[in-house]
């Protein structure tokens, strides 16, 4: 891979933050990891464009996942609490990228608390997808390097103005910047396999 030019048109807005819906699935429910847009274009004898190595080019395939499995679970987060962070770590000559996803689940009701237990029990098996306010869907983790729950903290709040619920952080270490998914074109399967 050659080092490319990178330009951005003046006047294009880059709104910070994520949308309110997060999506989660389990690495074991995927039939295989989808090809990049670069691979899809090359296989069709086309000419890939810059960025195609970071674009997932096929829909996620849950074939064979089993009854009531094989789908993206949708979770609502508190507004302005979602954040994707990519940190380059390591010594010169041995750099890697560790990605983190921060989000807040509102409430101390039984459903929110049970969901927190489920999240912890599937730590190390999670693939996360989050829509950014700019329209991109960022995919964190893959089948070989799923996300782990790095931290979580929250509670009932002590007084006026305190948030009620839990702040979570997922971390994954694929070694590279995260992938993007064109959900508008490829879709998001939120229906369990029958």
Q: How many CA atoms lie within 13 A of 185 on its CB side?
A: 11
Contacts of 32 (CB under 8 A, 6+ apart): 61, 143
Tokens standing for 153?
Answer: 């903290």
User: Which residue did the predictor score with more confidence, 15 or 24?
Assistant: 24
**pTM for this structure?**
0.89
So what's the pLDDT on residue 194?
67
Q: Please state, in angstroms and rounded to a whole number, the distance separating the CA atoms of residues 117 and 123.
A: 10
> Which pLDDT tens digit goes with each residue over 137-150?
999 999 999 999 99
pLDDT surpasses 70 at 1: no
Residue ranges per structural domain of the chain: 21-186
Spatial CA neighbour of 72 closest among 117, 123, 30: 30
So what's the pLDDT on residue 5?
74
Q: Average the pLDDT over 116-121 and give the result.
A: 97
So what's the pLDDT on residue 54?
97
> Which pLDDT tens digit goes with each residue over 22-75?
999 999 999 999 999 999 999 999 999 999 999 999 999 998 888 888 999 999
So what's the pLDDT on residue 15?
81
Please count the residues of the chain. 194
Three-state DSSP at 12 gives coil
Cα→Cα distances 47→36, 38, 186, Å: 13, 8, 20
> Which pLDDT tens digit goes with each residue over 89-116?
999 999 999 999 999 999 999 999 999 9
């Amino acid at each position: 891979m050659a080092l490319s030019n990178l330009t951005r048109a003046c006047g294009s807005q880059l709104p910070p933050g994520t949308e309110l819906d997060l999506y989660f699935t389990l690495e074991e429910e995927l039939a295989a990891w989808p090809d990049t847009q670069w691979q899809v274009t090359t296989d069709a004898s086309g000419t890939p464009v810059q960025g195609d190595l970071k674009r997932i080019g096929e829909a996620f395939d849950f074939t064979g996942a089993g009854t009531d499995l094989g789908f993206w679970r949708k979770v609502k987060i508190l507004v302005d609490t979602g954040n994707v962070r990519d940190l380059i770590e390591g010594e010169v000559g041995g750099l890697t990228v560790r990605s983190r996803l921060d989000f807040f689940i509102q409430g101390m009701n039984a459903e929110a608390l049970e969901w927190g237990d489920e999240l912890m029990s599937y730590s190390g098996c999670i693939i996360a997808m989050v829509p950014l306010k700019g329209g991109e869907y960022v995919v964190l983790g893959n089948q070989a390097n799923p996300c782990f729950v790095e931290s979580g903290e929250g509670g009932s709040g002590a007084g006026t103005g305190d948030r009620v619920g839990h702040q979570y952080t997922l971390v994954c270490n694929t070694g590279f910047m995260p992938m993007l998914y064109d959900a508008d074109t490829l879709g998001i399967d939120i229906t369990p396999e029958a």
